[in-house]
Chain A
């Protein structure tokens, strides 16, 4: 099944009953799929007049306790930042899919990793964080879609799934988790349902009182600390005997895995560290492993964005090498293998050494 369709089917099975989005390549298969699938399960699908309208439709649906989702690609996600910031402030759960494409501006429609900053730092205003999940294949797209809705509901926060144009288009076999029974989900006592038999509720992010906003931000930060403590996800492969630790997420991690296998066939030992949550970033696990191995090679589809998080995690505990390609041009495993060999030698001929 195609990556975008996988997300659509997984969302429905995870109990999503509202989708709004605006067409943008390379993720159009997702709204196309849901336009037919949502009505089958009694859900609602709307093609919004813009990304801004779509995210705000999701905000409205989410406020009533419905599992809701929108999707887009890079420039479209830029437009959704207003709604994401409001939902962070209003503590509303929702899932935002971003299949990244090349930028800045209109860029191109090829796979890219250039919106790591936008996703993990957030382009919206205010002191908030958005949990970001980075799948590396169709099975994980399905599984992490479930995870995204669960994290969103548990912590009352928007959650982003960050893939790229390739992830949205690639076809791989998937075993879907069984559909959940929506009635089995924990009740949302904060949701707006009409005030029959209770006092009216209001959901808002504006807190004019200085102390109220101060305390609200402290409350949000407590929540982000809890997410950081409980929801970190990462994966490792072939690290036990590695002389070099490759750090890559999403599509680049798949290419890196092939490159590592190429090297291993030649007797050169590299291993993989793959962040699955990009925020919160698995800082401490990476730090420990990097310190043990001593050399780190960072590979991503940008000119160095996740690199910042790696530098913050590793610091001077290991040598850091970086190989970044701007979105659109996808290196082969052999290209990446040359970078890894160069990093192991420490000659900096492919990619570059990050001076601590």
Chain B
């Protein structure tokens, strides 16, 4: 019996990921999110038909890790860039991969209006409640009381406003078909996140409208926690402000089953 026949490969690098080392910190959620996106693209056979738009922020170099066509967008403009791609190439699969600063602060207008137009685009939204790349400044999603380098003593609603729940905000629009919030801080949730991403991609393939998956993502470096403590913080503190689960689903997929 040959070696090929004797052994079955049960785990490997998804084809949608390049063979590169990432620059992400130990315990960061980005590497997990990248892998989930890549696995879903592979399983749906989409890699060669995909054009992706990474953010400005920690994932700005995502085109070094994702193994499909990508175009850099100015900070916050990913969904506008993606709109231009999708409207001129309706047969392509178009996704954005954005952090909270990109999608929910500087790009708020682009996010809300792409969603409201019902653009047939899939958005992966990484929420780590902090500005990672620039070194720990307050994010639009930073929790009240959470320390940030520009919110000494912790976020104070009277000074800094409140954590923004942009997923819930866009969900009120008729153009938005599917929004789910998962976390990257437990094995169960990581598996759930993959299901959500795959469903979000299916929404685009079925031309139903706009889909977004928010992923609560640990940032041990800027939270000044160990990776294990960061997982615990997501599960015990962050989920109270950003509850996990389906925020909107008008796909009708479950009805058909």
Contacts and interface: CB of A to CB of B under 8 A. Distances in A.
B60 interface: yes
A202 B87 contact: no
Given A50-B109, A194-B48, A60 B68 contact: no
Given A194-B68, A195-B68, A206-B72, A59 B81 contact: yes
Interface string A196-222: 110011111110000000000000000
Interface string A69-80: 000000000000
Interface of B: 18, 47-51, 53, 60-61, 63-64, 66-74, 77, 80-85, 87-89, 92-93, 109-110, 112-113
The 10 closest A-B pairs by CB, nearest first: A60-B84, A202-B63, A57-B84, A204-B72, A60-B81, A56-B80, A61-B84, A196-B48, A49-B113, A56-B77
16 contacts: A18-B84, A18-B87, A44-B88, A46-B84, A53-B113, A57-B83, A59-B81, A60-B81, A63-B85, A64-B92, A83-B77, A194-B92, A200-B67, A200-B69, A204-B72, A205-B72
Given A18-B87, A60-B83, A83-B74, 5 more contacts: A20-B84, A63-B81, A64-B88, A195-B50, A205-B72
A200 B84 CA distance: 20
A180 B18 CA distance: 40
B72 A56 contact: no
B80 A203 contact: no
Given A18-B87, A204-B72, A195 B47 contact: yes
Contacts, number: 138
A201 B69 contact: yes
A52 interface: yes
A291 B113 CA distance: 56
Interface residues of A, number: 39
A194 B46 CA distance: 9
Interface of A: 17-18, 20, 44, 46, 48-50, 52-54, 56-64, 66, 68, 82-83, 86, 90, 192-197, 200-206
A201 B68 CA distance: 7
Nearest to B90: A44
